[in-house]
Amino acid sequence: WELVRYCNALNTSVVGGASRLFKHFVADHCPARVRSFSDRAHTKGGLYQTLGFTEVTRNLESYVWVNLENNKAYSRVSTQKHNLKSFFKDDSIDLSQTERQIMESHGYVQVYDSGTITWEWRSRQLN
């Protein structure tokens, strides 16, 4: 299982809300493990520690390519050099150029993040 996101309404906090939601999920689904990822630019992951998750790895920064015309972001995987002919639907792309050269020539800018932390919760039955 993966915990994709936890969020509150703006300017709203429910004390113990995340713990109650997670306990309910565990009771209903009996997962052996749950993984999640936190953005290092926004949190140290205190909520995960409160929920009983342990830190698995600290992942280095990554990037997306952003189309300057519409501000849409595309993952680095979908825009890897070997995918660019199909990404742009253009067989004439010169693959002797770098990924950066090709993307920038098509109006994209590379935007980096601060990396993530991978967290994992394990059922007590596995420990």
Reported as a single tens digit per residue, the pLDDT across 40-55 is 998 899 999 999 999 9
119: left (phi over 0), alpha (psi -120 to 50) or beta: beta
Residue 124: the pLDDT is 84
* Alpha helix ranges (H) inside 34-116: 46-50, 84-88, 99-105
Place of tokens 């990037």: 63
Whether the per-residue pLDDT at 15 is higher than 60: the answer is yes
Residue 83, CA distances (Å) to 49, 78, 87 in order = 38, 7, 6
Q: Which residues pair with 120 in a beta bridge?
A: 35, 54
CB atoms within 10 A of CB 81: 16
Of the two residues 8 and 52, the one the predictor is more confident about is 52
Residue 60 per-residue DSSP state: P
pLDDT tens per residue across span 74-117: 999 999 999 999 999 999 999 999 999 999 999 999 999 999 99
- Per-residue confidence at 127, pLDDT binned at 50, 70, 90? low
Query: Position 42: which residue type?
Result: H
64 pairs with which residues across the strands?
75, 111
